[in-house]
Homo-oligomer: A and B are copies of this chain.
Amino acid sequence: MQNKFKNHIYKNLPFLKDKKLLIAISGGVDSVVLAQLLTTLNFTVSLAHCNFQLRGLESDLDEEFVINLGEKLNLQTFTTNVLINPNGSIQLAAREFRYEWFQELIETHNFDFVLTAHHADDILETFLINLTRGSGLDGFTGIPEINGNIIRPLLPFSREEIKAYATSNNISWREDQSNASTKYVRNKIRHQIAPVLKEINPNLLTSFAKTIDNLKESKEIINDRIKDVVKEITTEKDGILKFEISKIQQLKNPKAYLYEILKKYQFTEWNDVFNLLSAQSGKQILSESHILLKDRNFLILSDRDFEIAQEPSYFIHENTKEIKSPIQLTFEEVTQENKQHKNTIYVGAEKLQFPLIVRKWENGDYFYPLGMQGKKKLSKYFKDEKLSLFEKKDLWLLCNSKNEIIWVIGKRQDQRFVSKTASKNIKITLIKHK
């Protein structure tokens, strides 16, 4: 039994051997088996467990179990304790938090890969969940075994095989008793549908794996075609894409093509997008991130943030007391630092390199938010803070002469420019936001 897992890892993931691995572990049978297995193989592993406190005492017992397992296996163990309270699905928010935390651990502790314990039954369940919701090819092509620095070594194996491994190796685990509504759908599929499918075909997971491969191959062919078509219909200038409408209309199914070409730009109203082909010049459709504009014979796609970056930068020289444009800021030397708030920050005078710059944000900008750990992309920060497009558009940054962000004005200061020891601080105040 153990050999099956070992062989798969040696054959398909041989490079894991010499790497520093972080296992995402819940305490459930899958991730505990993964941890035990890789320990048995003498791989270099650590554990990472998120406690979202969604199931009270049970959640704490999971955490305790993982900590004890780490001690028993002599593995470095990271845990984090988070209360999430999202607008949307807790499940989704928890997932996002988890993967973000893993990436942070990777950066901070130089891990090479995060390993998760997803298995073949998870793929089937996800397929069926997407089927109940309505989906398309993208929702039916499974979970990738390798995706960037995330690796899923148990993906070819069934839950049953994993449990058998646990049992035959006297491995204990925590059973997730949760019937929380967020898990309702997956549980129904796991306990009521998958077993019937397996009754019909005892080798279901094997034939299903082949099915997924077939669908992936279909997707590859589509991607090849889309690449050809995009080349054919597109001209690009300064990061703005122009699609020639007459060429789109010559395609056999323009709507299907528009979907495939534009899906990565977060459009959702595909009928509107399609109707744009025959709409009046000047009409446009907005996605979360992009604008699609009908302009005579073209559909013009531009990044909604792009327009923001077109504003000029403003320079602030040493000893300036106040600027009034593009926004009103005052600068004042103070000896003591009062509590900073949204519209006032204190910066160590010795840390400022003039001229300062006031400018709009650009893709790729990052900063070190005060009160958080490490560096963060501005786009990510905006997303976490749920800034609307309009708020993002209105925002200005205060940077030093090296273009490092000192202040996301009116939002959050960068910790690099705070000086606790300085006798001379500069108090910067936003008087009136534009």
Residues of chain A touching chain B, judged by Cβ–Cβ distance below 8 Å, are 128, 131-137, 140, 185, 188-189, 192-193, 196-197, 199-201, 204, 206-208, 210-211, 214-215, 217-222, 224-226, 228, 251-253, 255-257, 259-260
Give the residues in chain B near A136, CB-CB below 8 Å.
Answer: 211, 214-215, 217-218
Inter-chain contacts of A189 with B (CB < 8 A): 196, 200
* A224 and B252 contacting across the interface, CB-CB below 8 Å: yes
Report the separation of the CA atoms of residues A208 and B140 in the bound assembly, to the nearest whole angstrom. Answer: 13
Known contacts being A188-B196, A196-B188, A222-B225, is A215 close to B137, with CB within 8 Å?
A: yes
One complex includes copies of this chain to the number of 2
Query: Given A221-B222, A221-B225, are A197 and B132 neighbors across the interface (CB < 8 Å)?
Result: yes
**Cβ contact within 8 Å between A221 and B131:** no
Contact of A188 among B188, B199, B210, B218 (CB under 8 A): B199
The answer to whether B188 touches A200 (Cβ under 8 A) is yes
Q: How far is the CA of A222 from the CA of B220 in the complex (A)?
A: 9
A397 to B69 alpha-carbon distance, docked (Å):
80
Docked-complex contact B131 and A217, CB < 8 angstroms: no
Are B133's CB and A218's CB within 8 A? Answer: no
CB neighbours of A133 from chain B (8 A): 201, 207
Q: Would you call A228 and B228 a contact (CB within 8 A)?
A: yes
A222: B residues at CB distance < 8 A = 218, 221-222, 225
The listed residue (B200, B218, B220) touching A132 by CB distance below 8 A is: B200
In the bound complex, CA of A200 to CA of B128 (Å): 11
Contact with A135, one of B188, B193, B211, B252 (Cβ below 8 angstroms) = B211
Q: How far is the CB of A232 from chain B (nearest CB, A)?
A: 11
Pick from B188, B219, B225, B253: contact of A228, CB below 8 A. Answer: B225
| Cβ-closest chain B residue relative to A257 | B221
Nearest Cβ distance between residue A251 and chain B, in whole angstroms?
Answer: 8
Nearest first, the 5 closest Cβ-Cβ pairs linking A and B are A134-B207, A136-B214, A225-B225, A217-B256, A137-B218
The distance in angstroms between the C-alpha atoms of A211 and B133, with both chains bound, is 9
**Complex Cα–Cα for A351 and B387 (A):** 91
Are A256 and B221 in contact, with the CB atoms below 8 A?
Answer: yes
State in angstroms the CA–CA spacing of A257 and B185 once bound together. Answer: 36
Distance of A27 from chain B, by nearest CB (Å): 27
Asked if A208 contacts B260 (CB within 8 A), the reply is no
A192 touches B196 (CB 8 A): yes
Contact of A201 among B132, B196, B214 (CB under 8 A): B132
The distance in angstroms between the C-alpha atoms of A185 and B256, with both chains bound, is 34
- Distance in angstroms from A185 CB to nearest chain B CB is 5
> Do B208 and A134 have beta carbons less than 8 Å apart?
yes
Complex contacts, A197 vs chain B, CB 8 Å? 128, 131-132, 193
> How many Å from the CB of A198 to the closest CB on chain B?
9
A182 CB to nearest chain B CB (Å):
13
- Is A221 touching B132 in the complex (CB atoms < 8 A)? no
What's the nearest-Cβ distance from chain B to residue A304, in Å? 26
* A217 adjacent to B252 (CB under 8 Å): no
Closest beta carbon of chain B to A130's beta carbon, Å: 8
Interface centre among A134, A206, A220 (most CB of B within 10 A): A134
Q: How long is the Cα–Cα vector from A252 to B228 in the complex, in angstroms?
A: 13
CB distance from A263 to the nearest CB of B (A): 11
Within the complex, the shortest CB–CB distance from A194 to chain B, in Å, comes to 10
Complex: A299 Cα to B96 Cα, angstroms: 49
- Contacting residues, chain B, for A185 (C-beta < 8 A): 200
What's the minimum C-beta distance from A133 to chain B, rounded to whole angstroms? 6
Quick one: which of B193, B204, B226 contacts A221, CB cutoff 8 A?
Answer: B226
Q: Nearest residue in B to A130 (C-beta to C-beta)? A: B211
CB-defined contacts of A137 to chain B, threshold 8 Å: 137, 214-215, 218
A262 CB to closest chain B CB (Å) equals 14
A196 contacts across to B, CB distance below 8 A:
188-189, 192-193
Residues of B within 8 A of A132 (CB): 197, 200-201, 204, 207
User: Who on chain B is nearest to A220 by CB?
Assistant: B253
